[in-house]
Amino acid sequence: MSSRRSTSSVQSNPTQPNSANRTMSTTTTTTTAAAGQTVPLKVNYRSPNALKADGSDPVYGDWRDDLVRDGFAVVKGAIARDRADKYADAMYSWLEGFKLGFDRNDLSTVHKDKLPHITEKGMCLQYAVTHEDFAWSIRGEPGVVEAFEKVYDTQDLIVSFDAVNFGFPNRTDIPKNVPWPHQDQDPLLPGFRCLQGLVNLLPNGPKDGGLIVCKGGHRLSEQFHEEMKDEPKIPAWTNEWFGFTENGMNWLADHGCEWEKLSAEPGDLLLWDSRTPHYNLSSETTQPRFAIYTCYMPVADATQEDLLRKKDALERWVGTTHWPNARHTGSNVAKRDGEDDPHNRFEPVNKPRMNERTFKLTGIPYIKPEAGMSAVEESAVRS
Ligand SMILES: [Fe+2]
């Protein structure tokens, strides 16, 4: 923790969330801490004006109508182009900073020996990359946060510490990226629970690889899982993931669902309902694809235990899944040829310079002293 205290520029004086004047609606849900382990239900307090995606929403007159109808939406220009370009530059510099031979101007240097570990799906999960300053700056971009504030009708949000995507074209040095159509939500917990997002940072046309979504799949989710409940399950490490089998894909097609690869400009925010089937495609061109996954949820959906676990993840500079309540936390130990990567990093190269908004998104300001943080410790973290 000392490194965090001495090096982060947390310039905030966040106030405790004022829940007294918030009109509450109460929904009881279950959640799962790990495969096979069910934990007590958390009561969700959602604003009555939060988007519901259940047929009862008003006409919003913006991208939220797309989200309700299709299960996904593109928020154009959530980040101004010049800022998006700077973030992409920082991401290229981060890759080159390993000094393994990768050169952004020479695609022949795209090779696993010259790069940190990146999966065939473009995911970079270790090296504390999720806490690099560029990632936190993107999470705090007003146009990104405000999209989630609109959906949940609250400014009291927390954000995931999810993967960073470095998708390079024509890779033959790593396994092929095969489709893994899935939804990121437990089928036993229906309804709109989570809005996922990613910020696109490079030009991304129809053939450039990236997110592909099943249009309208969210509206058929309950019916699908009821009718397909006896279909053999694809193994998953968490109940908050469900993979679509070939039969499942046929069911979606038979019910008129079409798959759509989303195109985007640098700075566009792509959003999708966690029930919407999706996966990502590799590029068919020479265009790389960079993206930061950004998922926010109302802090009211998280327990104090969740927030303490989330704080610990931040202090250890490790990641989470897309679920911001940090039920699952990651590791910074990447493997290279079966061994721990000698280039592993356990803290960011450029530690996040947080402002009041980003600090609130860590969830730390919402931790009650009696939940495990003393006033002295809280003060030290903020300084
Ligand atoms: Fe997903």
The CATH number covering residue 321 comes to 2.60.120.620
Rounded to 5 degrees, what angle do the CA atoms 352, 332, 144 make?
40
215 is a domain residue:
yes
In the reported structure, the alpha carbon of residue 185 is separated from the centroid of ligand 1 by a whole-number distance in angstroms of 9
Expressed in angstroms and rounded, the spacing between residue 160 Cα and the centre of ligand 1 is 13
How far is the centre of ligand 1, averaged over its atoms, from the C-alpha of 373 (Å)?
Answer: 33
pLDDT of amino acid 370: 77
What is the structure's pLDDT at 213? 98
Alpha helices, DSSP H, located in the chain: 2-7, 63-70, 81-96, 133-139, 142-152, 221-227, 246-254, 304-315, 356-361, 375-382
In a domain, 44, yes or no: no
Q: What does the pLDDT read at residue 45?
A: 65
The string of DSSP letters for 206-233 reads: TTS-EEEEETTGGGGHHHHHHHTTTSPP
The rounded distance, in Å, linking the Cα atoms of 156 and 320 is 19
CA dist., res. 37 & res. 34, Å (int):
5
Average pLDDT score over the chain:
88
Q: Is pLDDT above 60 for 32?
A: no
Residue 302 CB partners (closer than 8 Å, separation 6+)? 42, 158, 310, 324, 325, 326, 363, 366
- Rounded to an integer, the average pLDDT of 194-211 is 97
Whether 53 is in a domain gets the answer: no
Q: Is the pLDDT of residue 28 over 90?
A: no
- Asked whether residue 82 is domain-assigned, the answer is yes
156 versus 383: the higher-pLDDT residue is: 156
328 alpha carbon to ligand 1 midpoint, in Å?
A: 15
Q: What is the pLDDT of residue 312?
A: 97
User: In this model, does residue 176 exceed pLDDT 90?
Assistant: yes
CA of 272 to the centre of ligand 1 (A): 10
Task: Please give the DSSP secondary-structure letter assigned to residue 128.
Answer: T
* Distance spanning both ends of the chain, measured CA to CA: 12
Domain-located, residue 55: no
Task: Summarize the confidence of residues 226-234 as an average pLDDT.
Answer: 96
Buried b (16+ CB within 10 A) or exposed e, 195-228: bbbbbbbbebeeebbbbbbbbbbbbbbeebbeeb
- Total number of domains constituting the chain: 1
Alpha-carbon distance of 307 to 7, in angstroms, equals 22
How many A from CA of 281 to the centre of ligand 1? 12
Question: 368, exposed or middle or buried, with CB in 10 Å at 0-12, 13-18, 19+?
Answer: exposed
Question: Half-sphere exposure of 256 toward its Cβ, with a 13 Å CA cutoff?
Answer: 5
Question: What pLDDT is stored for residue 278 in this prediction?
Answer: 98
Q: In which band, very low, low, confident or very high, does the pLDDT at 373 lie, cut at 50, 70 and 90? A: low
Q: What is the DSSP letter of 363?
A: S
Question: For residue 276, how far is its CA from the centre of ligand 1 (angstroms)?
Answer: 9
pLDDT at site 369: 87
Torsion of CA 261, 266, 269, 275, to 10 degrees: 30
Tell whether the model's pLDDT for residue 70 goes beyond 70: yes
The token pair at 106 is 């020479």
Q: How far is the CA of 323 from the centre of ligand 1 (A)?
A: 11
pTM (2 decimals)? Answer: 0.86
pLDDT for 299-349, tens place per residue? Answer: 999 999 999 999 999 999 999 999 999 999 999 999 999 999 999 999 999
User: What is the domain range of residue 116?
Assistant: 2-13+62-382
Helix, strand, coil percent content, the chain, rounded in steps of 5: 30, 20, 50
Residues 6+ apart with CB under 8 A from 112: 118, 173, 174, 336
3-class secondary structure, 249: helix
Distance (angstroms) between ligand 1 centre and the Cα of 277 equals 8
- Does any domain span residue 316? yes
Residue 42 is assigned to a structural domain of this protein? no
The reply to whether 32 falls in a domain is: no
CB atoms within 10 A of CB 27: 13
